[in-house]
């Protein structure tokens, strides 16, 4: 089975392909000749995931799935949320985003946060939605070299390491994207 993963983020593709059974081959947007930015104009993570998946299905005709992920920080009323990738501006720079978030939290003792991933699947003219959440907290400084995005400042509950200090297998087994992808795989295998 071939499925388009509607993202240009090579880190996401690598993470998700590592979880997929061998009989499911992921195609990237580049593989299908899609070089445009996918629309993300909805006011929720779920809405953006659905919008991206519907765009690929409607414009390119492929069975596909799209994800949208946001980091939601309690003390910041759920920010950065749908703006996680561009929290510090349109340049979408992970270091700038982390610095902006750490500055916004400053000395706030409430560091509770969670990552939320929603996957929208368009297959056989049906739509399915899967959600994964990982609860944790924002650290006071960046720690670790692995992962991407906010991984160096997010420490999941029950662990003394940030996502950026974990290997990919551990991150996938406890993380938001891994949880959502597991639901996707279970559906595809049913």
Write the pLDDT tens digit of every residue in 23-35: 998 999 999 999 9
Sheet with 64-73: strands ordered across: 25-27, 2-5, 64-73, 112-123, 126-138, 154-156
- What tokens does 82 get? 């749908």
Does residue 86 contact residue 37 with C-beta atoms inside 8 Å?
A: no
Write the pLDDT tens digit of every residue in 115-146: 999 999 999 999 999 999 999 999 999 999 99
Give the range of the structural domain holding residue 48, as residue numbers without chain letter. Answer: 2-189
How many domains are contained in the chain?
1
* Whether residue 68 lies in the annotated active site: yes
* pLDDT bracket for residue 11 (50, 70, 90): confident
Give me the pLDDT at residue 92, please. Answer: 87
- 3-state SS class at 121: strand
* CATH code, 12: 3.90.950.10
Active-site residue, selected from the candidate residues 31, 68, 107, 151: 68
């Amino acid at each position: 089975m071939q499925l388009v993963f509607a993202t240009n983020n090579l880190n996401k593709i690598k993470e998700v392909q590592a979880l997929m059974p061998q009989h499911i081959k992921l195609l990237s947007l580049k593989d299908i000749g899609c070089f445009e930015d996918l629309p993300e104009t909805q006011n929720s993570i779920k809405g953006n995931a659905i919008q991206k998946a519907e765009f690929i299905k409607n414009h390119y005709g492929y069975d596909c799935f799209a994800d949208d992920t946001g980091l939601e920080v309690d003390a910041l009323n759920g920010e950065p949320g749908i703006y996680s990738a561009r929290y510090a501006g349109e340049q979408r720079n992970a270091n700038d985003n982390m610095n902006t978030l750490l500055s916004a939290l400053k000395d706030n003792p409430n560091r509770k946060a969670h990552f939320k991933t929603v996957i929208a699947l368009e297959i056989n003219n049906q739509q399915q939605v899967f959600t994964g959440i990982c609860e944790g907290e924002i650290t006071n400084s960046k720690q670790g070299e692995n992962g991407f995005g906010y991984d160096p400042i997010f420490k999941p509950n029950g662990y003394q390491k940030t996502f950026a200090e974990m290997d990919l297998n551990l991150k996938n087994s406890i993380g938001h994207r891994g949880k959502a992808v597991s639901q996707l795989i279970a559906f595809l295998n049913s």
